[in-house]
C-alpha cells in the first residue's frame, strides 16, 4: 500500500514536470514569434496603423483594443489578402483599402498575429503556422 502511494507520487511529479517542460518550450517559441512579429509589424503595418497600434483618425482603424480582433480567422486572412469595403471598429466606420501582403509567409503571419494578440488583443497564446495554414486553406472566413 505504502509503495503504491510512493509510485503514485512519483508518477504525479513526473507528469507535472513534463507538463511544465512543454509549457516553457511553447513559451520560448511564443517569445521568439513576438520578437519577429514586432519587426514585421514595424516594417509592414505601422505606417498606417501606427507604431502604438492606435490607428490614424478616420483613415486607419486601431488594432489596440480593437473589437475586430475577436474575429481571429478574419484577421489572419486579411493580413495575407488585404481588406476593403466598410467595416466597423469599436463603433466607428471605416471604408478604405488595406493592401494585401502576398510577400509574407505563413510563418511570418503566425509571428505577426501572435505579436498583435499578445500586445493588443489581451491574448497571450501562441498562434502557430498550422493555425495560419488552416485558416488560409479554408478560404474567406
User: Which residues in this chain contact ligand HEC in the complex, by CB under 6 A?
Assistant: 44-45, 47-49, 60-63, 66, 68-69, 75, 78-79, 83-85, 87, 89, 94-96, 98-99, 101, 112, 116
Asked if 63 and 69 touch (Cβ cutoff 8 Å), the reply is yes
Give me the residue whose beta carbon is nearest to ligand HEC: 45
For the packed helices 106-119 and 72-81, what is the interaxial angle rounded to 10 degrees? Answer: 130
Of 33 and 94, CB closest to ligand HEC = 94
Nearest approach in angstroms of CB 71 to ligand HEC is 8
User: If we measure between CA atoms, which residue out of 59, 56, 108, 101 comes closest to residue 79?
Assistant: 101
Q: Please identify, using beta-carbon distances, which residue of 5 and 91 lies nearer to ligand HEC.
A: 91
Closer to ligand HEC by Cβ: residue 49 or 119 = 49
Which CB atom, from 34 or from 45, has the smaller least distance to ligand HEC? 45
CA distance 81 to 78: 5
How many CB atoms neighbour CB 30 within 10 A? 20
CB of 13 to ligand HEC, least distance (A): 43
User: 72-81 and 129-138 helices cross at what angle (nearest 10)?
Assistant: 80
Amino acid at each position: 500500500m505504502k509503495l503504491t502511494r510512493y509510485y503514485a507520487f512519483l508518477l504525479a511529479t513526473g507528469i507535472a514536470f513534463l507538463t511544465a517542460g512543454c509549457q516553457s518550450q511553447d513559451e520560448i517559441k511564443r517569445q521568439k514569434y513576438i520578437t519577429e512579429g514586432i519587426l514585421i509589424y514595424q516594417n509592414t503595418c505601422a505606417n498606417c496603423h501606427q507604431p502604438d497600434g492606435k490607428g490614424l483618425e478616420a483613415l486607419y482603424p486601431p488594432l489596440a483594443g480593437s473589437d475586430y480582433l475577436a474575429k481571429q480567422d478574419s484577421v489572419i486572412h486579411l493580413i495575407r489578402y488585404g481588406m476593403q469595403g466598410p467595416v466597423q471598429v469599436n463603433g466607428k466606420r471605416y471604408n478604405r483599402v488595406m493592401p494585401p501582403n502576398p510577400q509574407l509567409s505563413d510563418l511570418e503571419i503566425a509571428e505577426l498575429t501572435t505579436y498583435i494578440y499578445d500586445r493588443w488583443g489581451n491574448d497571450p497564446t501562441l498562434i502557430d503556422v498550422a493555425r495560419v495554414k488552416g485558416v488560409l486553406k479554408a478560404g474567406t472566413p
